[in-house]
Structure formats: structure tokens, C-alpha cells
Structure 1
């Protein structure tokens, strides 16, 4: 039997075949055509969607007041080992002002203080009143923080579990949202206890376990303020925090997590020495009863009071002053990216490095109580070498034994967004700035 098949438009001519062979051939032809050309009576099933892989956990660690060059003192072997096994920047420049709350919130929002609204540790808002580090009620009021969106909110709203250990802002219901796990600040909680809490969160069942976590240490900052950055007490606090980091590393190893979790270690600012007598007594330069004193310290701020000639006061203080410089908020140098937010006082005075702006009354009260003036300060020009902060990163996403040039702290946010595979909110960071820290 000879069979010749020619196919044009799905029609076949079959010669010299009996009826049974023709029937069998037609069945075979239709089966092949349905498989290869889609001539089946129903469309082929769509492939099942591929599940998006979960990102590696990310732990963001802050060592408050850890100046960039402290790592070179040889007192933090665990931190040095993490840097050697990962990435270290020569320095990380804080945003201005180089203060605690403004920069912690910058790191987790990617916004400069002028944009996220935490413009100082001490502020005044006509609608909200006064804000300070000691005002726990204000710190827990989400309205103070609502100009920014912290990454724990972004991560949570996009399906990730989150946990924060004492990060500034995490006690407040920002936009009516809180981390899944958080604690109110307790300064008496030791570094090891803080580490143990973070490890306990990592031990939670899969459905409750956080993917984004924060951890906060404040010992180095406290010692720097009390005794100065070159003191024995600062060195001891560096070693104390490093011991807590060693405890963290051991805990991660025991859980098989050390090489599966991304760690980012930062500080918010550095620290400068300030002799006790280096005080600019601002009450000698302007009548304090004619202004609203918003803040004193390295960055002092003043608002006008009705019925007084504030322009005259500004004109006097904007002239060259010893050991400080003052500006109307509209004339602050553009490089500081500061002055447009309504919470920035109308007149700001920035002390020279190594000085503070205060009053005779404040100093007298401190001395009468038996307190000493701080011997270390921050808040100065964010370009000053003493204000530079720490950046170290280690984990499966990061290169090894890599040193980067100096970076800006607004760029940490887009890096974390990338590690967690999130859609970011508006921010001031550069997503490409830290590409060199990541593995290809």
C-alpha cells in the first residue's frame, strides 16, 4: 500500500486506502493537529502562576552615636569581622541636622528631615504643641511622624511581617499602622536583652516571623555625651555593644540564619568634643522674653512673638557671631537641605563644632542640681568629619571584603527596599548609589 499525504490549510489528500485505514488515519491526523496546532475544541489550560520567592530576612541595627572612625580603635572585633565578611563604607554622611530622631527617621523613610518633619529632637508645631526626647506622649503620637512613611509600614502593607526594637518612631501608630512586634523604649534594657528579644522574634512560627526587623543600641551615644568621644567610657561602651553583636552572631549561627539573613549596621551621627566652658550665651545677644525659644544646644531655634520687632532681632544675630552662625530659615545654605518645613523655627543658630548655644539660666540650673554639662555633642554641620556615621552590611545579598567611598544616609532606604523586593514610596534616596555593595 502506498500513502501520499499533502497538507494545505489542514486538508489532506489520501489515496489508495481502504475505508478502515482512512478512518484510522483521520483520527491520528486530528490528534496530532490538536496537539501541535491548537485545533482542540477547548483552549489549552494556562500555566499555574509561579509563586514569588520570599525575600531573605533583613535586620537593621543602629549603634547610636558610633562615629565612623570608632571602628578603627580595635575595640569592636565582631563589627570588624562583619565588615570584613561584607561591605563597609568609609563613612556615612548624616542628614542635617546631625541629631538622633531626624536621622533615624531619615534612614527608615529615605527622606531628609525637611521632608519627613522630624526636624530636630526638640520642636514646636502650632497644631501639636511641643516635642522633645523626654516627652513620651509626643513621641507616641503618630501625627508627629506622619509626614514620612517608615519602611516597616511599607513592608507590612505589602505583606511582610515586621518587628522593631526601640527604633525612634516605632512606638507611634503612624498612619494608624504599627509594626507586628514592637516594644516601648526602656533604657534599662541591656544590649544582650535587646538581642535576645530580636532572636525570639526570629524563633516565631513562619506565619508570625518577621522578615524586616530593627535593633537599637544607645550606650555609645550616652557615653559620648557624658564623657566625650575620646574618653575611656566611650571605649568601654564600644566594647560592650560589640559583645552584644557577638551574642547576636552566635544566636544566628545556632539557628542556621547567619548566612541567610542580611544585616545592615548603621549609626545616626558621630560625636565631637565640647569643653564645658565652650558656651555661646545667647541670652546676652537677644531678649529671650521677646521670642519663643524652641530649642537650645548645637542647633538653637527661635520663633517671633507678637508685638516685637523680630526682623531687628534677626538682623542682629545674622551678623557674624563668635562660635556660631545664625540664619532666617529662608536663608539657610541650600547644601543643608533645611528650612522649608513649617516646623523649622524662623531663626536658627548653629554652633561651631566644639561649642553649644545655651543660656546663663540653663547653665546655672544644671550646676545647682549637681549635673555636669555634656562633654560631647552632635547636631553640627553634617559635612564635618566628627559627624560622620557608620555603615556596614553583611549577608547573602552583599559582596565580601569590600570598602565603599563615603555614602549618604538617605540611600540606605532604597537599598532596603530592593533587598525586601518592595514598591517604595516617594523618597530622597538614590537607588543606584549602593549598587556596588551588592553581589552581581
Structure 2
């Protein structure tokens, strides 16, 4: 009998040892794999043709060794509409940020501006779809997010903001913005953002004031490139693996002095209500003056194209949101429609033009363990960015988006 028990004990021991190699240690069983953070960086107004080893050594290195491509911005090629598209995967006509200045028939007398934080501007209220930016989707999935100055990020959508966010300060130096993100990445895993967004605006500011390719714009490009190099070196020092996606919202065109049109020379002041002007004109009818305005707009030069709301070319995917004004006039790239007395009426740069224009093309770069090195992508629409971010941070595709991650699929491992 003792011999039988010794035999059974030996058999149980043998079985236990054989299974030991199949069962991970308790510590490993209790610890989930560490999430690789994703960092999305926007460089406002950066044209893809600015990238070169001499001017942008850090960005050029990513382009050479990582993933590179160009994007077509959404219409209109303006900062706030396109940043909200990058964050939501929806075109402006559907997400509701249809311009950098606008009104809403549901809220008479309220004008949207850069500091507008009322949730109903941002959450698609009154539009065809409820709007949820990527960081809100991440937070709902218990993925911590951190936002450094992204348009719309100071507004709580459905009561939710990113876990870490800062109110916009235009004068904060670029390297200090990068340092904030590095501080987030230094945190322990349980409070480290799995998604971070970072915004740089100086290239756009100087492109408007002085024109693309001006010494001032070149200096701004060098500075933001250095900040991205600083960020990457900091990540390498802490041995932090990240997936980094770098984009711009639109390009920038040289303005043409001979193609500056003054609205007062074509339309009587009492015949329209101005919304905004520049690289694109938004105006509303004045009751009783509709026919007169329509006739006046027909007299615009041939390089200005005007449409009623709802009659824009289909490729713009634009004109049905209730916030879109009654008329839209689109100059050819470099031309401008002016009203009043702007600071720089005849020189510098502008955007808002047809997204198909090469000058309006936006940058796309990516690097990190999720991406195939040395991949170059053909031109794609920027509605693919939010679906890409979802894939990188492990979220299911969003419902009813205007794009998918398919255009960048070949760049993913």
C-alpha cells in the first residue's frame, strides 16, 4: 500500500512539473502587457514640401525611416474644421465645425470663435450625427488621454474631457509643449496617457504674416522641428516606445497682390451679412436683398467662384449643415476676398482654398513599433486619421465615420 501511494505521489509530481512550463508565473498572470502610447502631433500650416534634411532634419529622418505621405484636407481647408476632422473622423459638414467663424440658427446672436467652449458647438448638436473626439472615446474605454492645446479639447463632450489638458497659451515655447508630453510619458503606467495630442501653431502664424518660404516661416519650421527632435530624444532617454503620428491640417499658398478683391467694389454693404473673408468668403442673405446679392456675385472676377448653400460641388462634401451660410465664394489659390481693413491685405499667405490644390496638401508622417519602416503612402483624405488612432490604441472602429484606416493599412505591421 505504501508503495502504491509513493507511486501515485510520483505521478502527481510528474504531472505538476509537466504543466509548470505551460502556466505563467503568478506575477506574469496578474500583469497585463504594458500599453504602447500613441502621440498625435499637429503642425498647423506645414506644407509637405517643407520637409528636407537641411531644414527639418528630425522630420526628414522620420520621413526616410518611417512612414511618409501627404493628405488632402477636408473642405474648407481651415484650421478648426480640419483639427476637428482629425479628431473625429467626420468631415466638417457632419461634425459641425464648418469654419473658424460661424453662427448657428439654433442659437441666434451667438458667434463661434477660437475660444468658444459651449459643448453644442462641438458635439454635433443640430447636425446629422453625435460627435465624439478620439480622446473622449479613449477615456470611455478607460484609456487615459492627454491633450496639449488641440482645438476643442477644453470643452467637455458628454461631460468628458481628457484626463490631462491645458488651456491654450499661444506664447508657450514649442520645446516646453514637448516637455509637458515628456512629463506625461515619465509617469507610472497606471497614470500615463495611452493617447496624447500635441499642437504647434507658429508655422501657420508666420505663413499668414510673411508667406510660405519667408525667413520668418523658415525659422518657425526649424523651431518646431527642433521641438520634435527634443521630444524624440527624451522618449529615447527614458526607453519609452511610442507610436508617433505627425500631421498638418492644411498647407499654405502665397497670396497674389493683383488678385486681392475688395467685396465693397462688387456688393453693396446693405445687401449681405458678413461671416468671414480671406482665402474663402462666407456671407448670408439680408431679407429682401436676396436677388440683388445673387446678381452682384455674378460680377466677381473669373478667379472667384460663388455658390449658394447646397449647390457646392459634390467633391467638397459640404453645404448641408445648418451652420453653413447662404453663400460661399472660393478664390483660386493665392487670391483673396477682403472686407474692411486687414493688417496684411496684399502679402503673406493664406489657406481655405480648394483642398485639391497642391498648396493645400497636408503632411503625414508616422513612426513606431506599429508601423512598417520605409513606407510611402499615396495621397489620402484626412478622415483616415481618427480610424488609424483607434486602431493604434486598441479601440473598435467608430460608427458612421466618413473614412477608414484602409489608406494607411499597408504602413501597419
Instruction: Report the TM-score when normalising by structure 1.
Output: 0.82
Correspondence list, 1:38-437, <5 A: 53=33, 55-72=35-52, 74-89=54-69, 91-128=70-107, 129-133=110-114, 136=115, 138=116, 140-147=117-124, 148-257=131-240, 260-276=241-257, 278-306=259-287, 308-318=288-298, 321-359=301-339, 362-363=340-341, 366=342, 375-426=348-399, 427-437=401-411
Moved more, 78-87 or 320-329: 320-329
Q: Is the 8 A contact 1:380 1:387 kept in 2?
A: yes
Aligned mates of 2:292, 2:410 — CA distance in 1: 51
Counterpart secondary structure, 2:87: helix
Query: How many pairs does the alignment contain?
Result: 382
Structure 1 residues 337 and 54, CA, compared in 2 at 3 Å: closer, same or farther? farther
Distance 1:143 1:52 in 2: 38
Counterparts of 1:6-17 in structure 2, within 5 Å, are none
On the 8 A contact 1:87/1:400 being kept in 2, the answer is yes
Deviation at 1:323? 2.6
Q: Which runs of 4+ in 1 moved over 6 A?
A: 49-52
* Larger mean Cα displacement after TM superposition, 321-330 or 244-253: 321-330
Q: Is the 8 A contact 1:60 1:214 kept in 2?
A: yes
| 8 A contact 2:211–2:348 mirrored in 1 | yes
> For the structure 1 residues 309 and 60, does the alpha-carbon distance in structure 2 shift closer, same or farther, using more than 3 Å as the test?
same
SS at match of 2:310: helix
1:338-359 per-position Cα deviation (integer Å, ceiling 9, x unaligned): 1011111011111111111112
2-structure distance, mates of 1:200, 1:237: 24
Q: CA deviation at 1:175?
A: 2.0
Counterpart-to-counterpart distance in 2, 1:418 and 1:373: 44
Shift in alpha-carbon separation, 1:51–1:433, aligned structure 2, 3 A: farther
1:321 is displaced (CA, Å) by: 3.2
Gaps of 5+ in 1: 1-19, 29-48
Q: CA deviation at 1:53?
A: 4.4
Residue pair 2:387, 2:398 contacting (<8 A) in 1 also: no
- Classify the secondary structure of the residue corresponding to 1:322: coil
Structure 1 318/118 Cα, relative in aligned 2: closer, same or farther at 3 Å? farther
The alpha-carbon deviation at position 85 of structure 1 amounts to 2.3
Higher mean C-alpha deviation, range 184-193 or range 284-293: 284-293
Give, in whole Å, the separation in 2 of the partners of 1:374 and 1:126: 35
| Matches of 1:382 and 1:51, distance apart in 2 | 47
SS at match of 1:436: helix
TM (norm. structure 2) is 0.87
The whole-number CA distance in structure 2 between the counterparts of 1:311 and 1:414 is: 44
Q: Report the Cα offset of residue 288 of structure 1.
A: 2.5
Q: CA RMSD in A?
A: 2.3
1:242-290 CA distances to partner (integer Å, 9 max, x unpaired)? 1111110110011101xx2000000000000003453211222222223
CA deviation profile, 1:405-435 (whole Å, cap 9, x unmatched) = 1111101111111111112333111232211
Q: Distance in 2 between matches of 1:322 and 1:54?
A: 58
Secondary structure at the aligned position of 1:207 is classed as helix
- Would the aligned equivalents of 2:208 and 2:350 in 1 still touch at CA under 8 Å? yes
Q: Which has the larger radius of gyration?
A: 1
CA distance in 1, matches of 2:138, 2:356: 31
The CA deviation at 1:319 is 6.2
Shift of 1:316: 4.0
Three-state SS of the structure 2 residue aligned to 1:302 is: strand
Q: How far apart in 1 are the matches of 2:192 and 2:163?
A: 9
Residues 100, 234 of structure 1: CA spacing in aligned structure 2 closer, same or farther, 3 A cutoff?
same
